[in-house]
Structures are given as C-alpha cells and as structure tokens.
Structure 1
Amino acid sequence: MKILIVGLGSMGKRRIRNMQYLRQEEIIGFDPREDRCKEVLEKYGVRSFQDINQALKEKPNAMIISTPPDLHMAYAKIAIKNNIHFFTEASVVQDDMLEVIKMLEKNDIVGLPSCTMRYHPIVKMIKTILEKNIIGKPLSFLYHSGQYLPDWHPWEDYRKFYVAKKETGACREIVPFELIWLTDLFGKIKTVSGHKSKVSHLEVDIDDIYNILLEFENGMESTLTVDVIARFPFRQLKILGEKGVILADWSEKNVKYYTNENGWTENKVDDGIVEENYIHGEGPYIEEMSSFLDSIQKKIEQPYTFKEDLQILKILEIIESSSESGLKKNVGN
C-alpha cells in the first residue's frame, strides 16, 4: 500500500518510523510547514508535500492523520471522499465525528481511531491478571497520569501548539486517552463526579488538573487524576481486588500483584525502543499500526470504532459538566 502521513510533527514522525518498522516502503507525507517536510526527507527518506491536493494525486491507499485533534475530522472526510482508508490519532473534540460515522456506514473503507494504550504491554498484562482472577473481583482503582506540559515537546514552545488551546488542551486531551483503555478493562461507567481547575503558573489558558470519581456499572468506585503539572512523568495504577492488589508503574516498566497466599509477584515489561525526546517506547504504537493494516486487509475486526470514541468524548463532556455544576452526573450508554 501507499501510505500518506498527514501532519509531520511529533506523532507524524513516530508513525513514519512505525510504518518503516513494519516494512511499508511506499510512504509519503503532507504538512503545510516546509521545515517539517525537509526534516522527514532528511531523517527518513520520505517525500512530502505542502499541498494536500498534491499529496492526493499520488493516490494513497491509506491515510494516517497525525494533525492537531481539531483537524482530525476534516481530513477524515477528505479520506472518505477519496475512498482512502484512514487512522486518526487520539481525539478530544467531537467536531464532525457523527457525520464521519454516518459517512463510514455508506462506504467500504476502514476508519480507525487511536486506542494506543490498549496495546501497551502493561495494560495487556493487567488484563491477563484480571482475567485469571488472581486478585479476585476488582473493587476499586486509583490511577494517576501526569507530566509537566513544557516537557511534552521540549523542542518547541508549549504555549504555541495545540495543547495550549482551551478546546484541545493537554490535560483535557489525556482524560479520554486514558478512559479508552480503562473502560476496556473495567466496563461501562455509570456515574461521574469531576473537578477540573487551573492550579499552576503555566502560561496557558487551560485547566491543568482533572480529578474524577468514577462509578462503574459493575459497582467499582474508582478515582482518576490527570494533570500537566507533575515534574516527573507519572503513570501509576493501583487496583484493589477482593483477594489482592495490582500495582502498575509505567516509568518503572513493571506490574506486580499481591495475594495473601503468595505474597508479591513482580513482572518487568518492555515497551520497545524509546526515541530521543520521547518518553514512551515505540512498541504499542507499532502494534497499533499493524492492527490498522490488518483491519484494512480484513484479517481482523476493527479493534475500536468511532462510535465508541464518540461515547468516550461524551463522557468527557459529562465530567466537565459535573465540574461546573458540582453534581454527580449519570452517564448514558
């Protein structure tokens, strides 16, 4: 296949690496910025265009949309109209997503939204532990995801890219990113109580911390904290079960669990090579791209859909509504 990478920033370059790892040889790029087009040519040998119409003349079979989130659906519609399979990075705004869903229903192409964390070896190991009933029925979890915003892209001013905008703010973006895999592990959410605020001196007009109480349909009562103020990049999960506990730490790259019968069992995890200026390994992203290719070739069912993604974004809205009203909110599924 010929693959068009739309957007050649941090994620676009990662997707080029992913596809080259998967031995996809026909890769082209698009970005309105000349410097980015030159960079991917020098680093990866990928020919790029500053005009999307010129890129489309190359007749790509698949499009990977790695633009800021508020542009995802615009390029998704371009892909559908040109009968091109497409993948979008993590979403945070609904925009025309419902329209895209309806367009996909009338077309025989694959449109796949990102669910990267479901491919992470830590998440997959946790899922296995839960499925084996090692800690019994899960009753609650405490999860913290945080990283200081200026460290996200150390090569550019954090005040000048999409994470500084209210609608696509960094903290707001990460909440649905985490909910995608948390709901895959623990099921549907019944109610939420949320509180978001700006507590730091970061020079952006965004909320920099979200504290959320989640009540699941299975009875679990859990807490989720997402921030962009932590000076060390945290991703830590504690799951309390009837027979034991699970502790997962993404920075330490380990998952350990405890039961009264056997004490602690620890497992180290490898998420692949970590590229310069990146924090997370390439492994889950490569697997996600492999899944996209397999979906196109009908080898597997689509692992995650825009209908599911839209529901996650609606939960984000309900969390924010709860913060504004101070009330617990029901989540309709």
Structure 2
Amino acid sequence: MASTSAEKVLIVGYGSIGKRHLGAFEAAGAEVAVVTQQDVTHQKIYRDVSSAVVEYNPGIVVVANSTDKHLAALENLKLAGFKGIVLVEKPLADKVISFKHSFAGLYVAYNLRRSPLLTRLKEELKNREVVTAHVYCGQYLPGWRPQRDYREVYSAKKDQGGGVLRDLSHELDYTQWLFGNFEYLAAQGGHFSNLEIDSDDVFTLLGKTQKSPHVVVSINYLDRVARRTILVHCQDATLFVDMVAGRLMINSEVVLDNLKVADTYLEQARSLIEGRTQSLSSFDDGMSVLKLIEAAEHSSQERKFINL
C-alpha cells in the first residue's frame, strides 16, 4: 500500500455526526471520502471499508457509524491493512472491548477536550484543591434531531448502544480528564420518563476521584432547555462553566465568554491533521469511560457503591 496522507480523510458512516466530522475536516482543508450505503451525490463514496482503504488510501479514518458497529469497523480497518490514524466517535464501543491494532494512533472523539473553556478550567484547577464538583448535561431527546422521529434514532435503542449514559459520555470523559479517574462511585439511572425509547434517559453518578473527594455527574434526555454546566468549589474559589453560553466564571468574574462548542470539532480535526494529539482522548481513556459506564450500570442495578 502506498504511503498515506493525513490530508485524506475517510468517514465511516454518514449520519448526523458523520456529516459534522466531514464538515470539520473539509473546513480544516482535508480531502474527504465517505463509506455509506446512502445515495450521496456530492461526495466520493465507497460501499465498504476494505475497498475504501485500498482505493482511496486515507491517512485518517473517522469511525462514525452507530456505537454497536464501532468494533466491527475497527476490525475491518485492521483486516484491510490500514496503518494510519483512527478517530472513533464517542463512546469507543457499546461495552468494554479487547482490541489490538497497529494503527499509527487510535483516539476517541471526545472533542470537548478541545474547548478553550475546559482547557482554561483545567489550567485554573492545576494548583487548586478541589472540594466538590458538579457536572450537569441535559437536552430533550426529541429536539436533538428535529428532522427525524426520535424513536427511530440509535439514541433510543439500547441494542444499538443508545441511552444517555453512552450518548452523553462526553461528561464522563472530561470529568475524569479534569478531576482524575473515579476511585469508587454509586449511581442511579434508567428509563424513568414517558419518552418512547427502551434506553436509559436519566443517570446520576456520585463518587470520589483522584483529585476530588466529592464529584457528581448528572445527565438526562429530558431538559427542554439545553444545559451543559460544571460547578467546582475549591478551597479558595468557585469556578463555573456554562458551555451553552460559552462562559467561564471565577467567583463573580467572567473570564471567558461567547465561545462556541461547535468549534471544537474543527480544532479536533486540525489537531489530527497536524499531529497535535497529546490532549486527545486515547484508546485507554476511551476504555476507562466504558469501564465507568459499566460500573455505573452495575451500581444502579445492585444499589451499592462500586470500586474501580
């Protein structure tokens, strides 16, 4: 196989998130092709991963099909002899997996790590003692993709890797990125609303992390007003992030304002093209999130604290 180019990107899957990645990489100056069964006339199209790898010879592959198909896509890339960089849409898979590879790099698309809000928050926390942290994300599932029936999207289907615990696992990733991995936790969650889905729509985790004795993460599919916030009480200050408003406050002072989350997709794309991958979520980070998800589910089912 000829040498690959990081400026040639292959997107596996052409749903809403695949289209978002496509737009980000094109904006970053990359040439982009797609693996999909859809009839798409304005893109270079392949029907399977193997032929795309051989014929298109990409340097970067983005796995953006449904969560339950991520592992199969990774296996197909390995079988096709792909040696470049792989970015897998979050979460890494629908359950903890065992996967060995010889890719140049394997990352998980927890792009909120590229947010200036979170990178600044991480910097501000570096020399502070965190007492407690409260992470919240809620958005009404029927409003996510208004052009589609919410009951038909993968988020609504447990067997496709849907459910708020996996769908909003950004919160789990950046919580551990900011405050260290959970050491133990208790969780309560499930399908509690009248949404016509069979996946979980509410989950709350409470536990101790490496850098904080008290961390709460609460996520749901129910909030009619989309909210994504982080409240951190330190010994010497209170820090608050509102990612919808794009705002970071330290006590009563507004430190950053009007920053856009959408820009993190573009920054993630540029980082991969330029080889700036140090702060991206690694395969091991993605596996840590999957283990955290399984621990939360086990805790909720067994009604007890779980050590990690």
- Whether TM-score is above 0.5 comes out as yes
Q: Does residue 273 of structure 2 align to residue 293 of structure 1?
A: yes
- Look up the SS of the partner of 1:142 in the other structure: strand
Query: 2:45 matched to 1:48?
Result: yes
**TM-score normalised according to structure 1 size:** 0.83
Is the CA contact 1:73–1:95 (under 8 Å) kept in the aligned structure 2?
Answer: no
Task: Map residues 259-270 of structure 1 onto 2, 5 A cutoff.
Answer: 264-270=252-258
> Matched residues in 2 for 1:191 and 1:175: separation?
20
Question: Among 274, 277, 283, which residue is 1:306 paired with?
Answer: 283
Deviation at 1:293, TM superposition (A): 2.2
Q: Does residue 121 in structure 1 map to residue 116 in structure 2?
A: yes
After superposing the two structures, state which structure 1 stretch, 66-75 or 163-172, moved more. 163-172
> 1:151 aligned to 143, 153, 159, which one?
143
Shift of 1:174: 3.5
- Runs (5+) with no aligned partner, structure 1: 259-263, 273-280
TM-score, normalised by the number of residues in structure 2: 0.90
> 157, 162, 165: which is aligned to 2:154?
162
Residue 300 (structure 1) shift? 5.0
Partners of 2:196 and 2:88 lie apart in 1 by 28
- Residues 301, 226 of structure 1: alpha-carbon distance in 2 compared, 3 angstrom cutoff: closer
Asked whether the equivalents of residues 108 and 286 of structure 2 are also in contact (C-alpha less than 8 Å), the reply is yes
| Preserved contact between residue 90 and residue 170 of structure 2 (Cα < 8 Å) | yes
Residue 3 of structure 1 corresponds to 9
CA deviation after TM superposition for structure 1 residue 55, in Å: 2.8
Q: Which of the numbers 292, 295, 299 marks the counterpart of 1:315? A: 292
Question: In structure 2, what is the Cα distance between the partners aligned to 1:302 and 1:78?
Answer: 27
Shift of 1:182: 1.0
What secondary structure is seen at the aligned counterpart in 1 of 2:295? helix
Cα distance in 1 between the residues matched to 2:254 and 2:279: 32
Flag the 1:110–1:140 CA change in 2: closer, same or farther, 3 A.
same
Offset of residue 94 of structure 1: 4.8
Q: Within 1, Cα distance between the matches of 2:51 and 2:282?
A: 29
- Corresponding residue number in structure 2 for 1:277: none
Paired residues in the alignment total 298
- The residue correspondences of 1:27-176 to structure 2 (distance < 5 A) are 27-34=32-39, 37-38=40-41, 41=42, 46-56=43-53, 57-81=55-79, 82-85=81-84, 86-91=86-91, 93-94=93-94, 97-99=97-99, 102=100, 104=101, 107=102, 109-131=104-126, 133=127, 136-167=128-159, 168-176=161-169
1:278 matched to which residue of 2? Answer: none
Per-residue Cα deviation, 1:174-206 (whole angstroms, up to 9, x for no partner): 453211111111112111100002221111112
- Aligned residue for 2:303? 326
Q: 1:21 aligns with which of 27, 33, 40?
A: 27
Take 2:212 and 2:120, find their aligned partners in 1: how far apart are those partners? 23
Task: String of CA shifts for 1:223-278, please: whole Å, max 9, x gaps.
Answer: 111000111111011111111101111122211111xxxxx210233444xxxxxx
Q: Please say if residues 172 and 217 of structure 2, whose CA atoms lie closer than 8 Å, have aligned partners that are also in contact.
A: no
Query: CA 1:80–1:96 in structure 2 vs 1: closer, same or farther (change >3 Å)?
Result: farther
The alignment's C-alpha RMSD in Å is 2.0
Query: Kindly tell me: are residues 293 and 266 of structure 1, through their superposed partners in 2, closer, same or farther at Cα, counting changes over 3 Å?
Result: same
CA distance in 2, matches of 1:252, 1:96: 34
Opposite residue 48 of structure 1, the aligned amino acid is: I
Q: Distance in 1 between matches of 2:212 and 2:255?
A: 28
User: Identity of paired residues, percent?
Assistant: 22
Alpha-carbon deviation of 1:319?
A: 0.8
Q: Which amino acid aligns with 1:224?
A: V
| Secondary structure of the structure 2 residue equivalent to 1:191 | strand
Distance 1:284 1:300, change over 3 A: closer
